[in-house]
Amino acid sequence: MSAKPDAAATAAELLALPSESGVLAWPDAPLAWLRARPATWLRRLRQRPVLEQGFRPLAAALERDGWAVEREAAGRFPLLLVSPPRQREAARAQFARALGLLAPGGRVLAAVPNAEGARSAEADLATLAGPVQTLSKHHCRVFWTAPLDPATLDQARIAAWQALDAPRPIEDGRFLSRPGVFAWDRIDAASALLADCLDPGLAGEAADLGCGWGYLGHALLSRCPGITALDGFEAEAAALELARHNLAPFASRVRLGFHWHDVRAGLPGRYDLILSNPPFHQGRAAEPALGQAFIAAAAEALRPGGRLLLVANAHLPYEAVLRARFSELRLRRAEAGFKVYEAQR
């Protein structure tokens, strides 16, 4: 991760702005935070909060700071903090979930960078929960509801919005996916290009780094009968659950593993083949270090003679790292702004 805080980290710090400005006191009972991340004000809370985070690197960062992290917060809270995702349906679903977790008289408080849809998010919360108050700082908006009585809210709308990011069939029913995960409603063009390079003779134990909802693993197991095991590594818990579902039909034939894991930390297993369409940003700006760390993790985890098949935007600076880490490097395809590399140990 870069040293400079990204916009989402700035927005997270600003969740404390209403309390610091004296316009909204922290409650005396524990609050809950959906999509929580490290923030300096957490230590100033009088009660331990309930922190929900499904993205492994952020969950791990909270754990390093001494916090317990929930995959799914449960209970009733006097204050629900929300750091909504960028995808609008997924953000609406988060607000609706937050309202479902409120104690009577509780409030929802959110902070969103302007460049990541602050105005729409604010309007969405107001549609669901009535007028909000707003503060602006550091190119972010911080907004919160009045004390709410769940009995007076439009429960039909809340239920409908909660379902907005529910898993659903895509690609003519071949896969299950949901808003909020990478390329949620389609096969990503770069991944399709990599899948096109999968020779039917590929064999042995394989891994997919950043497996998303499971497309590459599915393509590998459909095309290559010699593959005996597949481990999917993915940081986003929601995507990993989809991959588990989408690959289930192969469970009787191969050993499948699904790991909620930050690939930058290295891999626990050894493999004959690794596939990856690595992430290239965590905030808004491109972060080549992410993909480079994926390449390093693959090089460490491949058996001698093992191969990495990697696809990336053609302009990303991966070639030097591939050359440094592997003895053989071949450009398999260059098309539509993407490159597929095959590297061998």
Ligand X SMILES: C[S@@+](CC[C@H](N)C(=O)[O-])C[C@H]1O[C@@H](n2cnc3c(N)ncnc32)[C@H](O)[C@@H]1O
Q: How far is the CB of 89 from ligand X (least distance, A)?
A: 17
Q: Does 277 bind ligand X (CB under 6 A)?
A: yes
Residues 208-237 touching ligand X, rule: CB under 6 A, are 210-212, 215-216, 233-236
- The residue length of the chain stands at 345
Piece of 25-33, 131-139, 167-175, 183-191 that binds ligand X (CB under 6 A): 183-191
Q: How far is the CB of 260 from ligand X (least distance, A)?
A: 9
Indicate the residue among 107 and 218 with the shorter CB distance to ligand X.
Answer: 218
> In the set 26, 41, 182, 250, which binds ligand X (CB under 6 A)?
182
Residues 236-265 touching ligand X, rule: CB under 6 A, are 236, 239, 262-264
Q: How many Cβ atoms are within 10 Å of 29's Cβ, its own excluded?
A: 13
Q: How far is the CB of 131 from ligand X (least distance, A)?
A: 35
| Contact assessment for residue 120 and residue 86, using Cβ atoms and an 8 Å cutoff | no
Q: Does 57 bind ligand X (CB under 6 A)?
A: yes
Residue 344 and residue 308: Cα distance in Å, rounded?
6
Contacts 24+ apart (CB under 8 A), 184-193: 184/87, 184/213, 187/215, 188/212, 188/215, 188/277, 189/336, 189/338, 190/277, 190/311, 190/312, 190/313, 190/338, 191/215, 191/216, 191/219, 191/277, 191/311, 193/311, 193/333, 193/335, 193/336, 193/338, 193/340
Indicate the residue among 138 and 264 with the shorter CB distance to ligand X.
Answer: 264
Indicate the residue among 31 and 207 with the shorter CB distance to ligand X.
Answer: 207
The residues that touch ligand X, with contacts defined as CB under 6 A, are 57, 182-183, 188, 191, 210-212, 215-216, 233-236, 239, 262-264, 277, 279
